[in-house]
């Protein structure tokens, strides 16, 4: 599957029913932050360097004590299991074969046990703070049986309005009206309906079965989030998480250096510079815009990851040059999963590997440690104007 990121998105749109495709690609409100993620990366320019020995390029690294063949992993994507039949299992297998981390969302179709049964190595788990602390403790204990790293998402004290989801019936049309709207979208994609809707059933939120049951409708997902995500959470609540989780802890959803400092001070082993893929605060900084100041403030005291707008190995290279130790992919792997299942995700990862190696060679880098802000170019036109 040799295709560019925009074409991959286009292909996914032809495969997925509209309510699901809009859920994955959409942002909140006017989608300014969504556009800022891509725009900020697009404005960055890399310095081309020549006549350097780049015959021994090494893209490997260690992430939280685990070897990784590339400086990125598959980040958490809610409902990814609906992109292909039992989709999270397929994506996890592709990541494991490529030697990169896979992070399972709290709101996944496949639960931690099913993903663990389909893989051979521990994976990561993403957590939201939930009002029901007894259920949360049980969820953490279940995750600890199979997962090595916890990614605690903190940028969703309330759910932002996403107009695409409202119009598609994903969250805006309750009851029978919403079900009929989604059914019409599914009927327009018969291949998806057969492979995922029927053969891939049940399409329930696996990790939330203890509280939602196995037959929860789509609107129950949105309603449960509104009722159960806890807006009262502070840094003090990390003590509860630490009580039930002993492994590495990453705080995801940081855009401000002061919050990054607070996360490290509270005992986080890593942070993810992220605006939730443009799905929360509209008008916020793009992740690439926020990254340099945060990386400078942390200064190696914790692992700094980033997400938002990364669709290629070139984008990955830019994030590393801005100060990230690694990157988490989101929409890119969801689209690849929709288009080609496990093989599609594997092809995407191979493309990232190929493109990152090419970018490193053309900027004169042999190792990831060679990548830094010195590789970011400034236009001579801008310099003249300044």
In the block, tokens 């004169």 appear at 364
Cβ-contact 75, 86 below 8 angstroms: no
**Cα–Cα distance measured from residue 348 to residue 9, given in angstroms and rounded to the nearest whole number:** 12
Cβ-contact 355, 361 below 8 angstroms: no
276 is catalytic: yes
Cis check: omega of the bond before 202, within 30 degrees of 0 = yes
Question: Which phi and psi (to 5°) does residue 342 adopt?
Answer: -60, -40
**Cα–Cα distance measured from residue 133 to residue 230, given in angstroms and rounded to the nearest whole number:** 10
Cβ-contact 327, 59 below 8 angstroms: no
Question: Which phi and psi (to 5°) does residue 285 adopt?
Answer: -65, 145
Strand order in the sheet with 326-329: 72-74, 326-329, 303-306, 270-273, 249-254, 147-153, 123-128, 103-104
Cβ-contact 46, 365 below 8 angstroms: no
Handedness of CA 337, 339, 342, 346 (dihedral sign): negative
Count Cβ atoms within 10 A of the Cβ of residue 119 and give its class: 0-12 exposed, 13-18 middle, 19 or more buried: middle
Annotated catalytic residue: which of 185, 244, 276, 378?
Answer: 276
**Cα–Cα distance measured from residue 60 to residue 162, given in angstroms and rounded to the nearest whole number:** 38
- Identify the three-state secondary structure at position 128: strand
**Cα–Cα distance measured from residue 181 to residue 184, given in angstroms and rounded to the nearest whole number:** 5
**Which residues belong to the active site?**
276
């Amino acid at each position: 599957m040799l295709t560019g990121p925009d074409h991959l998105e286009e292909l996914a749109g032809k495969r997925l029913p509209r309510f699901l495709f809009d859920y994955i690609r959409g942002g909140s409100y006017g989608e300014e932050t969504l556009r800022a993620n891509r725009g900020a990366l697009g404005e960055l320019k890399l310095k081309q360097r020549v006549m350097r020995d780049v015959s021994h390029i090494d893209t490997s690294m260690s992430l939280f004590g685990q070897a990784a063949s590339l400086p990125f992993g598959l980040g958490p994507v809610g409902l990814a299991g609906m992109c292909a039949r039992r989709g999270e299992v397929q994506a996890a297998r592709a990541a494991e074969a490529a030697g990169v981390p896979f992070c399972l969302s709290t709101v996944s179709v496949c639960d931690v046990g099913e993903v663990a049964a389909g893989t051979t190595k521990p994976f990561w788990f993403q957590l939201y703070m939930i009002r029901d602390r007894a259920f949360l403790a049980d969820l953490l204990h279940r995750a600890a049986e199979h997962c090595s790293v916890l990614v605690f998402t903190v940028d969703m004290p309330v759910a932002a309005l996403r107009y695409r989801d409202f119009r598609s019936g994903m969250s805006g049309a309750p009851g029978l009206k919403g079900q009929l709207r989604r059914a019409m979208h599914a009927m327009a994609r018969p291949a998806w309906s057969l492979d995922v809707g029927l053969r891939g059933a049940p399409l329930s939120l696996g990790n939330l079965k203890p509280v939602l049951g196995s037959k929860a409708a789509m609107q129950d997902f949105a309603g449960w989030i509104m009722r159960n995500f806890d807006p009262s959470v502070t840094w003090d609540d990390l003590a509860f998480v630490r009580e039930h989780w002993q492994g590495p802890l990453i705080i995801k959803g940081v855009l401000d250096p002061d919050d990054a400092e607070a996360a490290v001070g509270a005992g986080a082993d890593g942070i993810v510079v992220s605006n939730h893929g443009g799905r929360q605060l509209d008008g916020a900084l793009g992740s690439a815009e926020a990254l340099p100041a945060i990386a400078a403030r942390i200064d190696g005291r914790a692992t700094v990851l980033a997400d938002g707008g990364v669709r290629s190995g070139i984008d990955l290279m830019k994030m590393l040059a801005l100060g990230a130790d690694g990157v988490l992919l989101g929409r890119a792997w969801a689209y690849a999963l929709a288009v080609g299942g496990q093989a599609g995700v594997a092809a995407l990862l191979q493309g990232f590997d190929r493109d990152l190696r090419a970018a490193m060679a053309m900027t004169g880098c042999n190792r990831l440690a060679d990548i830094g802000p010195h590789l970011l170019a400034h236009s001579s036109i801008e310099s003249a104007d300044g």
